[in-house]
Chain A
Amino acid sequence: MEFLRPDGLPDVLEARAAHPGALPLMGGTDVMVALNFDRRRPDALLDLTRAPELTAWDHVDGMVRLGAGVTYSRVIDELATELPGLAIASRTVGSPQIRNRGTVGGNLGAASPAGDSHPALLAGFAEVELASRDGVRRVPVDEFFTGVKQHAGRGDELVTAVWIRPATGPQQFSKIGTRNAMVIAVTSFGLALHPDREQVGTGLGSAAPTPRRARDAEEFLGAELDWSARRDIRDSVAAEFARLVATAASPIDDVRGTAAYRRHALAVMARRCLSWAWAEHQGRRH
């Protein structure tokens, strides 16, 4: 095995192109587990921690450009106001030690259907920045996930950043697990209200082969909500939104839960997230 330790993003992308078998390594919270348990023996490890370009975030063109190497702890500490949904989700990741190392970019690179960042990124209409020696492109996050632990990045590309519009309305995230800390989601749900464009964003986690949006639910709710007068949501509307969210899922039975339970839980989480978010939109505490 080789250990590649390039300094700076240009050299990282050169190394990525020159060593197609190298496994990118940032916070190590997935990759090191695989190494420690003999599950993976890549030809090389490509250490990304010496590229400061990856660990910065900035405002660009009215959006937040979040470097792929920004840790969950920093998202919580530095971006809770602008990216509230992602910050809430980040607080549910692992433990303090894991949040100090794990990154949103690593979550995307692993592309697990259970990744905690994904529902918030989907609900926030985020874009994933992919870079290679030959250039940079951006992919809408709902086109990024292509299969179980598969994504749209090519072998010579790296996830270098996520682009997200700062929140213009309430955002929520809910996750079912067996305890508060150190759990992989049985299923999870992210919701973002975008009052400026009168749109609703959703994201479902651990509910299908890939994280996905519930588009029918988004369109239904976006048309039903009384965005300007902010009147209470009728129970029938909340119930239909919850039903459409559950319908969008294609869950499986596995060790963490059954498909039927996941669908049920998604409907419950969708209704709760909506009630929390709408109360905030109305200026009420929830």
Chain B
Amino acid sequence: MRITLTVNGEQRQADDVWEGESLLHVLRERMGLPGSKNACEQGECGSCTIYLDGTTCCACLVAAGQAHGRDVVTVEGLSARGPATEGAGTARPVAGPVTGPVTGPVTGPPDAGEALHPVQQAFLDAGAVQCGFCTPGLLVATHDLLTRDPDPDDAEIREALSGNLCRCTGYEKILDAVRLAAGRMG
């Protein structure tokens, strides 16, 4: 079947989609958007967290046909979408981590533009990215949290991220990153 939907502000179409296929598969394998990660395929890990009509969910649990005509924002769309709060000017240029041993270039998707979203920058600066597999889901979940609540306490952060697993177990740095992002955006 053919499905048409809006992804990161653009009208997109996919043909020959299997009726039982997940939205995650369509995004990754048919639309060239591999930012949302495919790990557990059962909603346990949160690595494929996206916005569907403005609400976060696991793309692996949305049937592609259910997304027909809907509005999807993936991690690739966060920077283009602008910060959760006003002030796109606070987004910083892509740069290596401020501190720490990781020195390789930080490359975003080529079409993501020059600027990272403040949430993304905070994850880099706080050292909240280890293997990076859980990061896209955590970025979307954090973006959603700070959109709803610009100044969450630790219990609220933990609750908001409770559906995102980090198997590197870097949770302390991840909490640091959320606090850093909240402070910068607030």
Give chain A's interface residues, CB within 8 Å of chain B: 1-3, 5, 25, 27-29, 31-33, 35-37, 41, 44-45, 47, 49, 73, 94-98, 100-101, 180-182
Contact = CB atoms under 8 A, between A and B. Distances in A.
Given A36-B42, A94-B43, A100-B57, A28 B163 contact: no
Contacts of B162: 95-96, 180-182
B55 interface: yes
B57 A25 contact: no
B65 interface: yes
Contacts of B42: 33, 36-37
A27 B63 CA distance: 9
Given A1-B18, A33-B61, 20 more contacts: A1-B19, A3-B65, A25-B63, A28-B63, A35-B22, A45-B65, A47-B63, A47-B66, A49-B66, A94-B163, A95-B163, A96-B56, A97-B43, A97-B57, A100-B57, A101-B57, A180-B162, A181-B163, A182-B44, A182-B163
Highest count of chain A CB atoms <10 Å: which of B57, B62, B68, B141? B57
Contacts of A100: 55-57
A106 to B, nearest CB: 11
B100 interface: no
Interface string B6-30: 0000000000001110100000000
B163 A25 contact: no
B106 interface: no
B151 interface: no
Contact of B61 (A3, A49, A101, A180): A101
A37 B41 contact: yes
Contacts of A181: 162-163
B126 interface: no
Interface string B121-148: 0000000000000000000010010000
A98 B44 CA distance: 9
Nearest to B162: A181
Contacts of B62: 28, 32, 101
Contacts of B65: 3, 5, 45, 47
B43 A33 contact: yes
Contacts of A97: 43, 46, 49, 56-58, 141, 163
A29 B46 CA distance: 13
B56 A32 contact: no
A1 B19 CA distance: 6
A36 B41 CA distance: 6
Interface string B45-62: 010010000011110111
A208 B150 CA distance: 44
B160 interface: yes
Nearest to A91: B159
Contact of A3 (B22, B49, B63): B63
B13 to A, nearest CB: 16
A1 B159 CA distance: 38
Most chain B CB within a 10 A radius of its CB, from A35, A95, A182:
A95
B49 A32 contact: no
B19 A3 contact: yes
A1 B64 CA distance: 13
B63 A32 contact: yes
Contacts of B164: 95
Contacts of B63: 3, 25, 28, 31-32, 35, 45, 47
A33 B20 CA distance: 11
Contact of B141 (A28, A29, A96): A96
A166 B4 CA distance: 41
Nearest to B164: A95
A123 to B, nearest CB: 25
Contact of B19 (A2, A27, A32, A36): A2
19 contacts: A1-B18, A3-B1, A3-B19, A3-B63, A25-B66, A28-B66, A33-B41, A35-B20, A35-B63, A36-B41, A95-B46, A95-B162, A96-B160, A97-B43, A97-B58, A97-B141, A100-B55, A100-B57, A182-B163
A272 B68 CA distance: 47
Nearest to B69: A50
Contacts of A47: 63, 65-66
Contacts of A45: 19-20, 63, 65
